[in-house]
Amino acid sequence: MDQFSFDPLTTLSADDFASQRNGSRDSLMLAAQFRVAGRPDEQVRVRNLSSGGLMAEYAQPIDRGTVVQIEVRGVGWVSGRIAWATDGRVGIAFDSSIDPMLARKPVGGGSHTPSFVKPIFTRR
């Protein structure tokens, strides 16, 4: 018998590991400040967010387990550790849970929409 035989009932896929995550992930696109000790703060793009962590675009090499901080809009600075890093992306596991819906709330407190944000409609 082959030492590495294929058994479809015991073979794991990426979906199996994704199901081990706690909480649901919210797909979005946010700019955030990213801080690693000994390096200047950098702006990153957050691609998804959950109560326990996030995925962001970060092209610099970084080791798994590195302590980081990230400023999430509507939440503030959050501490965590690099859970994984690959292909210009990193996964950050937060040290404590957050409310990811706070990042979706409007940050402005104005009573009207400024004209520069309103869509321009042309008549034909």
- CB contact at 8 A, 84 and 63: no
CB count, 10 Å around CB of 54? Answer: 28
Tens of pLDDT, residue by residue over 56-70, are 999 999 999 999 999
Give the Cα separation of 46 and 32 in Å (integer).
Answer: 7
Higher-pLDDT residue of 119, 76: 76
pLDDT band at 76 (very low <50, low <70, confident <90, very high): very high
Helices then strands, each counted (H, E), the chain: 1, 6
Question: Could you tell me if 81 and 60 are in contact, meaning their C-beta atoms sit under 8 angstroms apart?
Answer: no
For the chain, give the mean pLDDT: 80
**pLDDT above 90 coverage of the chain, percent:** 54
* pLDDT for the residue numbered 103: 85
CA atoms of 55 and 21, how far apart (whole Å)? 13
Contacts of 57 (CB under 8 A, 6+ apart): 44, 45, 47, 88, 89
Q: Is the whole-model pTM more than 0.85?
A: no
d(CA 90, CA 107): 26
DSSP code for 39: S
Domains of the chain: 22-96 (2.40.10.220)
